[in-house]
Amino acid sequence: MVYQTEETRRKILIAAETLFIEKGFFDVQMKAVAMAVGISRNSLYRYFQDKNDLGYAVLGVVLSRIEGRFHLLLTDPALNAGLCGREQLRMLLKTGFLDEHLRADFSFMAEFDAHFSGSRIPADFQSRVGTSMSTSMWSRVGEIIAVGMADSSIRQDLTQNALEALILYSLKALQGHILLRRSALVGLSSDAVNQLVPNLITVLIDGLKPTYSQS
C-alpha cells in the first residue's frame, strides 16, 4: 500500500491551485508542484497519477468553495424579500459573479477550461468532471427561474433548462475569457472590461422578460 497523508494531499492541492492560476495550467509541470510542496516528484505521483488527475482534484476543491459561497448568497434574506423571480435572479447573478471572494476560484476554472479544450479533452472528461461538480447551485438557479416563470416575470417560450444553461454558460464563458485575456482584449479600456460582466447580466435579465406573444 502506498503511504499517503491527508495533510500532504491538502498541501499539494493548495500549491497546485496557486501555480495553475499564476502560470497557467498548460505551463505547470508536476516537478514544479512537488518543489512547491517540498516533496519529490515520485512522492507526488503517489497521490496523483498525472497533471490531469491533479487538475480534477483541484477543481473539486474550487467548486466546493464556490458552492459554499453561493449557498450563503442563496440563503440571504434579501433574495426572499418579496422580489419577483427575475429580480431574485438579477440579485443572485450580480452578487455571485461579481464577488471578489470568488475571483481566484473563477480564475482557476478559466485556466482549467482553457487547458481542457480541443484535442486536449480526454475521453473520460465528462465523467471525471461530473464527479467533482455539485449540482445544487445550478439547480437553485433553475428553481429561481421556475419561480419567475410562475409569477410571469420570466419568459415562458423557452424551457427552464434552456434558460438556465444559457445564463450560466454565457456568464461563465465571458468571465473566463476576461480573466484569461484582460490586458489583451482589443479595443477596450480597463473600465470597459470591468463593465462587461455587469452589462451581460443586465442584458440577460432584461432578455428574460416575457415576450408579447406569450399568452
Which CATH number goes with the domain that contains 191? 1.10.357
What value, to the nearest 5°, has the Cα angle with vertex 113 and ends 126 and 161?
60
pLDDT of residue 102: 86
83 & 26 share domain: no
214 in any annotated domain: no
pLDDT tens digits, one per residue of 144-172: 999 999 999 999 999 999 999 999 999 99
Structurally, how many domains does the chain consist of? 2
Answer yes or no: are the C-beta atoms of 136 and 68 closer than 8 Å: no
| Helix residue ranges, H only, the chain | 6-23, 30-37, 41-47, 51-74, 85-97, 103-115, 125-130, 136-150, 160-181, 190-194, 196-207
162 & 73 share domain: yes
Report if pTM > 0.75.
yes
165 & 91 share domain: yes
pLDDT tens digits, one per residue of 52-70: 999 999 999 998 888 888 8
**Summary count for the chain: helices (H), strands (E):** 11, 0
Domain membership of residue 39 as a residue range: 1-49
159 in any annotated domain: yes
